[in-house]
């Protein structure tokens, strides 16, 4: 692990040196007291590219996102169900994917703060299905929570450069990409983001020792869960450092006990990302800006019948190794066009983080079950202004075990649910390869 960290630090220093050869000096002075407000970070993968909120007042800042897509699968599943993704759930038809509405409340004099963001569309049912904790106990947490992407109440303290103490449900940046696709360079996340949390439920403390650094501590119910699998909460942290306007470093780690009915199995996960802008030529008619993002994750489970690495038939290894890389070019003086290319790899023996198909019983999570895959994508975005994004993206994905929806679908022999058709005894048609073409339109106010 020390060697791994040394390599990352060396690469960062080398790339920061290269920056002086490719781009203009930073145009903004880091004298602003508000954290991360001293520079222009709208170019960063997973960050809002809007420079100011449209619905903004002294006590309330509102936000509305509407995300629509047409996701064409070359497998053409008869039930139009897309599997193995948290960005698209319907294929070969127009789809209302994600509508987010709400806002953030703050009262500067007292420090009171809160946020409520509601979600609708297919992601409102697709994302919660990967959390089984609502099946524990009598109360329906799916109904109670599935339409809330973010909701917390807290307090802001004027210490250091600011301290926030919040309780509720929070969006996660484990895996770098944002839950809101308006903030991402690409539409379909690679395995690293798709198989790591989009949300946490619990408590967090955000501390800003300087305008360039954020330290965040978590005490949460579990790994993308509404409730708890066992009796102990998960703990974690996140560090975000932006020493220059052209570089952002993000590091997170998590420890929890997230296997149902197995209190002795511990999960550890670390997620690390580097985003760097290496070309910045405002006003250029050609490539006016270029940047890349690199993310690497290492995780494992230990105890309860499994070991982290070097397992055997009696005690299999259960771990998660993944990485993804994306490169993006912006074109023209107004930077209304951008082209992103990238992809990633995954190895997850035990499949404890794989996106399973509910009720199918075909893709199991037994210790020793192998799961490896890779994906690649390329896409063009047209951004006529700060509020609108149009995009077209081609994605190719591959696994060593049947994982994606094939022509026969994953619902029933005809693709219809009961009472039109009887799905009993039906075996989902899963395949190892999938190619998709995604057209999308996103508007954010």
How far CA 342 is from CA of 76, 238, 263, 291, in Å, comes to 24, 25, 38, 12
What is the pLDDT, as a whole number, of residue 360? 57
pLDDT tens by residue, 334-390: 999 999 999 999 999 999 999 887 655 678 889 999 999 999 999 999 999 999 999
Instruction: Please enumerate, as own/partner, the contacts of 277-280 that have beta carbons within 8 Å and a separation of 24 or more.
Output: 277/19, 277/23, 277/43, 277/245, 277/246, 277/247, 278/15, 278/18, 278/19, 278/22, 278/23, 278/246, 279/22, 279/23, 280/22, 280/23, 280/24, 280/246
Backbone angles phi, psi at 406, to 5 degrees: -95, -170
What is the pLDDT, as a whole number, of residue 359? 58
Adjacent-strand bridge partners of 61: 56, 104
Show me where the domains of the chain are located.
Answer: 59-444
Q: Which helix (H) or strand (E) holds 345?
A: strand 337-347
In this structure, the dihedral spanned by the alpha carbons of residues 51, 385, 90 and 324, taken in order and rounded to 10 degrees, is -50
What is the pLDDT, as a whole number, of residue 130? 80
pTM of the model: 0.90
Q: Percent helix, strand and coil across the chain, each rounded to 5? A: 10, 45, 45
The CATH architecture to which 59-444 belongs is Beta Barrel (2.40)
pLDDT tens by residue, 210-261: 999 999 999 999 999 999 999 999 999 999 999 999 999 999 999 999 999 9
Report the half-sphere exposure of 59 (CA within 13 A, side-chain side): 4
The residues of the chain scoring below 50 in pLDDT are 1-31
pLDDT tens by residue, 159-178: 999 999 999 999 999 999 99
The rounded distance, in Å, linking the Cα atoms of 430 and 68 is 26
């Amino acid at each position: 692990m020390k060697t791994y960290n040394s390599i990352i630090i060396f690469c960062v220093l080398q790339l920061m040196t290269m920056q002086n050869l490719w781009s203009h000096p930073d145009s903004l002075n880091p004298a602003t007291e508000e954290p991360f407000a001293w520079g222009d970070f709208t170019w960063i993968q997973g960050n809002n590219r809007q420079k100011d909120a449209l619905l903004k007042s002294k006590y309330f800042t509102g936000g509305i996102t509407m995300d629509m897509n047409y996701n064409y699968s070359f497998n053409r599943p008869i039930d139009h169900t897309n599997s193995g993704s948290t960005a698209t759930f319907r294929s070969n038809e127009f789809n209302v994917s994600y509508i987010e509405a709400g806002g953030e409340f703050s009262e500067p004099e007292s420090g009171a703060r809160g946020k409520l963001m509601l979600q609708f569309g297919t992601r409102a049912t697709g994302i919660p299905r990967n959390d089984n904790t609502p099946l524990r106990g009598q109360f329906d947490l799916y109904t109670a929570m599935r339409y809330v992407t973010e909701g917390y109440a807290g307090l802001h303290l004027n210490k250091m450069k600011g301290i926030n103490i919040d309780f509720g449900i929070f969006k996660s940046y484990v895996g770098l990409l944002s839950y809101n696709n308006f903030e991402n360079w690409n539409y379909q996340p690679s395995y690293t983001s798709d198989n790591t949390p989009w949300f946490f439920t619990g408590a967090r403390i955000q501390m800003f020792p300087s305008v360039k650094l954020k330290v965040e501590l978590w005490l949460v119910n579990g790994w993308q869960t509404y409730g708890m699998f066992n009796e102990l909460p998960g703990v974690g942290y996140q560090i975000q450092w932006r020493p220059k306007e052209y570089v952002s470093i993000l590091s997170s780690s998590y420890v929890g006990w997230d296997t149902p009915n197995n209190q002795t199995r511990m999960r550890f996960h670390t997620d690390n990302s580097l985003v760097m802008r290496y070309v910045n030529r405002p006003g250029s008619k050609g490539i006016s800006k270029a940047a890349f993002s690199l993310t690497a994750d290492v995780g494992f489970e230990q105890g309860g019948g499994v070991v982290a690495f070097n397992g055997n038939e009696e005690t299999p290894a259960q771990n998660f190794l993944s990485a993804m890389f994306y490169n993006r070019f912006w074109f023209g003086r107004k930077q209304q066009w951008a082209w992103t290319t990238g992809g990633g790899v995954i190895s997850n023996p035990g499949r404890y983080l794989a996106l399973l198909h509910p009720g199918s019983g075909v893709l199991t999570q037994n210790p020793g079950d192998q799961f490896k895959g890779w994906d690649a994508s390329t896409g063009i975005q047209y951004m006529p202004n700060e509020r609108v994004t149009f995009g077209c993206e081609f994605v190719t994905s591959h696994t060593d075990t049947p994982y994606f929806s094939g022509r026969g679908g994953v619902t029933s022999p005809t693709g219809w649910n009961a009472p039109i058709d009887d799905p009993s005894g039906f075996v989902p048609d899963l395949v190892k390869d999938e190619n998709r073409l995604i057209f999308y339109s996103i508007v954010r106010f």
